[in-house]
Amino acid sequence: MEHANGPIWEVSFWEFFFVTVLLAGSAAYLTGRAMARTWQGDLQLAFYIVLLAAATRFIHYALFSGSLLSLHYYIVDLIALLIIAFVGKRITRAGQMSTQYSFQYQRSGPLGWRRAGGGDS
């Protein structure tokens, strides 16, 4: 397989989309959701995503003849997975705040919440 390196994907866009966005992105989203449900911190979530990004690089290497130890593509995968994980955590946390503390907060879009009654922000 001939490499068509780009700044974001190493082999092809579809390989990047399938492995990093769909497969590992789903795992990152669920990890963020789990961290929100257990009220864990952002640092612990980032640690888990660092490990997931390493596993993602291995999948690129094993299935699509990508490079295993490429710092550039590891960082690209890491950034994409961190974004997906923190979005998953934020969506879940917004639901938690508006459900568990409905007397004080109400949902304000998919990623946020605000004080009920429109008082002080």
pTM higher than 0.85: no
Taking the domains of the chain in order of start, what are their residue ranges? Answer: 13-118
Per-residue model confidence (pLDDT) at position 4: 61
Tens digit of each residue's pLDDT, the chain (121 residues): 455 667 777 778 889 899 999 999 999 999 999 999 999 999 999 999 999 999 999 999 999 888 888 898 999 999 999 999 999 999 999 888 887 777 878 778 778 777 877 655 4
Q: What residues does 114 pair with on adjacent strands? A: 106
Per-residue model confidence (pLDDT) at position 104: 79
The CA distance from 21 to 81, in Å, is 8
